[in-house]
Amino acid sequence: MIRPQQSNGQKVSTGILGFDEIAGGGLPRGRTTLLVGGAGCGKTVFALQSLVAGSREKEPGVFVAFEEDAAQIVANAVSFGWGIEGMSKKKLFFFDARLSPEVVKAGQFDLVGMLALLKAKVEEIGAKRIVFDGIDVLLGLLDDPAAERREIYRIRDWLVAMRLTGIITQKAHSVDAGHHYDFLQFMADCVVTLRHQVIDGASHRSLRVTKYRGSSFSADEYPLALSARGVDVTPRGPSELVYRVSEERISSGLERLDGMLDGGYYRGSNVLISGAPGTAKSTLGGLFAESACKRGERTLYVSFDEGAAQIVRNLRSVGIRLAPHQKSGLLKMFSTRTRTTSVDEQFRQLHEIVNDFAPRCVVIDPFSALSTKAFRSSSVDTGQRFLDFLRRQEITVLNTSLLDGLGADEATATAISTVADTWIHLSYVAQDGERNRALTIVKSRGMAHSNQVRELTLSAKGVSMTDVFIAQGKVLMGVARWEREQSEAVATIRAQIENENKRLQLEVAQAEAAARMEVVKREMEARRVELANLSDVTGASASRLDAQRNTLKRLRRADSEPLGAARSSKKSPPRAASKRGGR
């Protein structure tokens, strides 16, 4: 049969988003893909999902079930919400190829008849894709490796002749045992290996493309999850780090912390808050979430092993109110257990929530709950991949991490510290019989930031930051700081009083001096008047003396000698006069 889409593309989409990305578009069109994996890896779901995706794109499909009851497969797939139950047999046909246990085998058989039946069906509905699920169950009955191989080749040739895009699933144990099914892998154009491991009691599913003829592909192992929507693969994303970076600053929710950070966190940056248990990491997360909601930004708060209601209540006790934002739908709280699902599954779930909710800010509390587990698993970089995804979305993310010290192994092992743009460390300072919270900024890329240690205090009124005292090389906090503050205050008051006293004294002295000056001024005035009076008196008496003398002369009828002559002969006449006068 002729396939009109043949020339349009060499790949067919599987409808599994992450997988299409890894395989450069999907499965090879018109060719055979082998899906290898152990029990419970998701082979059947993977195959069925891509079949359903095809039938949605007007590529009807046939599912040949060798292992499970077709009705059972449909029933299981209903929960994925693909609408499989509503699909007509014209779009998706199930061929029940199970042999009941009562069937007696008497000699060799072949698949000629089955393929003839399938051909009839394929042509009837115009199928473009076909899945052979669990073919080893049937071929195993042949009990003859050569015959099995012959039938496999028969199927391959048939697929090629039919120009069908085929998926054959195969159990992995037969591969491990070096079974004769190995040749399947050489025969197939594309081989996808699924793996399911249990590490430390946590399940890890992964997927790897091991072969892809005529196409580039990523051969790395990727986490795979069986979610409520089917198979999900988490691709790593582009290897080159290309992000939009923002100059915008957003508040940490704590004004003084913003100050220390020269304006707040960068939009789209990754903030790490590390610290021992109880150092108020969640509180900083809550503050950040609250301030984001106040700005009207959608915020996702992810918490592990602590219920949302409990977090809201606890944060309320320090004046952080999240409930109204929760009601308005701006804030979404997502609480989950650390141990319920695998770390890959959890990240995938978060991925989904982020996609659905489209938040601008995310708080993950604590991130270490995920990363410590990831550290042990094969998918070390799952956490980083998720952070990378958030960064590409320009979502500002605040992670808290349980760390006892800055040099802790966890930080380096999980490498969140290298991803973090801003790292704030909270610690306890035990001193004088009490523990106090200290906040330091370990690093903050691209911004001037304070190198000062601050004390973080929590109260019903809210969270505040206080300068610490440094005395004798020790940082003082709590009561010690309070005492220090008190003594400082007393000293200040004392100094104020002393100053006041001194001022008063000086005023008195000044007043005294002024008063003294007034006295002196008055005295001076008095003397001056006295002096003036004195000279007046002297002048008046002299002229009166002259006048009296003239009067006396007249009375005595003295020579009216001219004044000059009289004066030149003054000596003798006055003497004479005095002689006369002395008589």
Using CB under 8 A as the criterion, which residues of the chain lie in contact with other proteins when the complex forms?
96-100, 102-114, 116-117, 119-121, 138, 141
Give least dist CB 142 to other proteins, A: 9
Please give the Cα distance from 186 to 34 (Å, whole number): 10
Q: Which is nearer to other proteins, 106 or 146 (CB)?
A: 106
Please give the Cα distance from 477 to 470 (Å, whole number): 9
β-bridge mates for residue 302, sequence order: 334, 364
Exposed, middle or buried by CB within 10 Å (0-12, 13-18, 19+), for 513? exposed
Q: Which is nearer to other proteins, 108 or 487 (CB)?
A: 108
Q: Which is nearer to other proteins, 88 or 108 (CB)?
A: 108
Give least dist CB 198 to other proteins, A: 35
β-bridge mates for residue 53, sequence order: none
Give least dist CB 46 to other proteins, A: 23
Please give the Cα distance from 147 to 244 (Å, whole number): 59
Q: Which is nearer to other proteins, 114 or 441 (CB)?
A: 114
Please give the Cα distance from 561 to 355 (Å, whole number): 143
Report CA 382 to chain centroid distance, whole Å.
17
β-bridge mates for residue 274, sequence order: 401, 425
Q: Which is nearer to other proteins, 97 or 343 (CB)?
A: 97
| CB 253 within 8 Å of CB 245 | no
Residue in 325, 395, 318 with CA at minimum distance from that of residue 355:
395
Give least dist CB 28 to other proteins, A: 27
Give least dist CB 113 to other proteins, A: 3
> Residue 359, preceding bond cis, omega within 30 degrees?
no
Give least dist CB 96 to other proteins, A: 7
**DSSP symbol at 244:** -
| CB 246 within 8 Å of CB 266 | yes
Q: Which is nearer to other proteins, 113 or 201 (CB)?
A: 113
Please give the Cα distance from 322 to 305 (Å, whole number): 19
Q: Which is nearer to other proteins, 117 or 199 (CB)?
A: 117
| CB 18 within 8 Å of CB 222 | yes
Return the residue matching tokens 């704590």: 254
Give least dist CB 72 to other proteins, A: 16
Please give the Cα distance from 422 to 267 (Å, whole number): 12
| CB 401 within 8 Å of CB 410 | yes
Rg (CA), the chain: 51
| CB 477 within 8 Å of CB 490 | no
* 396-402/270-275 β-pairing: parallel
Report CA 413 to chain centroid distance, whole Å.
19
**DSSP symbol at 456:** E
Give least dist CB 137 to other proteins, A: 11
Give least dist CB 400 to other proteins, A: 58
Q: Which is nearer to other proteins, 104 or 555 (CB)?
A: 104
Q: Which is nearer to other proteins, 72 or 548 (CB)?
A: 72
Phi–psi pair at 317, nearest 5 degrees: -65, -15
**DSSP symbol at 103:** P
Return the residue matching tokens 């003829």: 213
Q: Which is nearer to other proteins, 103 or 555 (CB)?
A: 103
| CB 50 within 8 Å of CB 130 | no
Q: Which is nearer to other proteins, 132 or 301 (CB)?
A: 132
| CB 261 within 8 Å of CB 252 | yes
Q: Which is nearer to other proteins, 141 or 458 (CB)?
A: 141
Give least dist CB 89 to other proteins, A: 12
Give least dist CB 196 to other proteins, A: 29
Instruction: Report the 10 Å Cβ neighbour count for 418.
Output: 11
Give least dist CB 115 to other proteins, A: 8
Give least dist CB 325 to other proteins, A: 60
Q: Which is nearer to other proteins, 143 or 559 (CB)?
A: 143
